[in-house]
Amino acid sequence: MKATKISYNGEDRIKLEFPYNAKYNTILQQIVDSHWSKSLNCWHIPLNTESYHQLLLGFEGIEGIVIIKPKEKKLITLNNIEQKQIEDFNNWMTHKRYSDSTIKTYLNGITVFLSFIQPKTSTEACNDDMIRFVNEYLIPKKLSYSYQNQVVNACKLFFSQIVNCPLQVEKLNRPRTEHKLPNVLSKEEIKAILDAPRNIKHKMMLSLIYACGLRRGELLNLKLADVESKRGILIIRQSKGKKDRIVPISEKLITMLREYYIMYKPKIWLFEGQFESTQYSEQSLQSVLKQSLEKAGIKKPVTLHWLRHSYATHLLEAGTDLRYIQELLGHKSSKTTEIYTHVSIKSIQKIKSPFDDL
């Protein structure tokens, strides 16, 4: 495999060249912000330490793969000891049955942190390094509270289980919790988004996310056997928290799924990508939403999760019991579901402002 520095849409990227291999494509899909370019006929990833390390980690041990590193002064790599520690951390989380997405997030977080504290090594890290990391890296880059929380969680595990160093994990503090209301679209806006795609696969994916309140990963992990049309249910397997759940699917949705299947005939996954029997990528799904928003003329910064929020809120406004909504969404705690009571307008609209009596 050859890695070459390129400029793509004004951004420095790493172009990856290799003969077609479905296994390699699956590995590359797991790298943050990886993309397949039809025009360049190749995969490309961000030119940074985290992505390059994920590339090495993903292809490590695969016979016949030699990655030629692109020349870039700013590209910092971890030493052999730290790379071994991260490999041990990966194995430990896998043994503990952490989800693939959590493992990916934590490996990325600890790699960024270790790169930041260089020339210090992992065994020299201390609590002051985390304070510097927040003040000099996270805040200037305007990275989110949730990302900071993820890095802290990663460091707590990494330094308590893998590395012996001066850093005291029990004194690592997470950021103060944000209390944000979920973003909700009207039914008219939802209809406009779902009607926008001409491609039946694109329409089907967006429709399922809203109609069943799915997370992005839950949609992409669906297999053909997870649709039980005779029972009118969809089975979501091993989602967040390693939980299975079922959600109802209407006859209207089943009819759409049958039309989709006849046209595309997926082999393994319900929604497959450009290559047969491979999962549809997160980046492509986000692109589908972006195109639909443009066609629908919606200017709001809508994400796929907004569709899930809208599903829950519209159920609540239709009179569905909060306990049922909790089960449908797969929430562990009812407190997580109760946030939708704060954005439901059904009761709020009945309140009369004293201003109207003036």
CATH of 187-342, one of 3.40.50.300, 3.30.70.1150, 1.10.443.10, 3.30.559.10: 1.10.443.10
Which amino acid is residue 341, in one-letter code? T
Q: What is the pLDDT of residue 75?
A: 45
**Pick the catalytic residue: 240, 245, 264, 295?**
240
Question: Is 23 labeled as catalytic in the residue annotation?
Answer: no
> Which of these is catalytic: 24, 52, 311, 340?
340
Sheet holding 42-46, edge to edge: 2-8, 11-17, 42-46, 35-37
> pLDDT (tens digit, 9 = 90+) per residue, 172-194?
666 666 566 788 899 999 999 99
Q: Where are the domains of the chain?
A: 2-59, 80-171, 187-342
Is 147 one of the catalytic residues?
A: no
The whole-angstrom separation of Cα 108 and Cα 87 is: 12
Identify which has the larger pLDDT, 338 or 325: 325
Catalytic, 305? Answer yes
Catalytic site includes residue 265: no
Please state, in angstroms and as integers, the Cα–Cα distance from residue 97 to each residue in 161, 309, 316, following that order: 15, 28, 34
Catalytic residue among 53, 202, 215, 314: 215
pLDDT over 90 (residue 234):
yes
176 an active-site residue? no
At residue 240, φ and ψ (nearest 5 deg) are -55, 130
Q: Which string of b and e fits 164-179 if b means at least 16 CB within 10 Å?
A: ebebebeebeeeeeee
Residue from 35, 104, 309, 331 carrying the catalytic annotation? 331
* Strands (E) located in 177-242: 227-228, 233-236
Give the model's pLDDT for residue 178.
57
- CATH architecture classification, 80-171: Orthogonal Bundle (1.10)
Residue 13 parent element (H or E):
strand 11-17
35-79: pLDDT as tens digits:
888 778 888 888 876 677 677 767 765 555 545 444 444 444 677
Give one DSSP letter per residue of 203-220, joined into a string: HHHHHHHHHHT--HHHHH
Confidence band of 322 (pLDDT split at 50, 70, 90): confident
Give the active site residue among 35, 44, 308, 314.
308
Annotated catalytic, 308?
yes
Pick from 136-150, 205-219, 289-303: least confident:
136-150
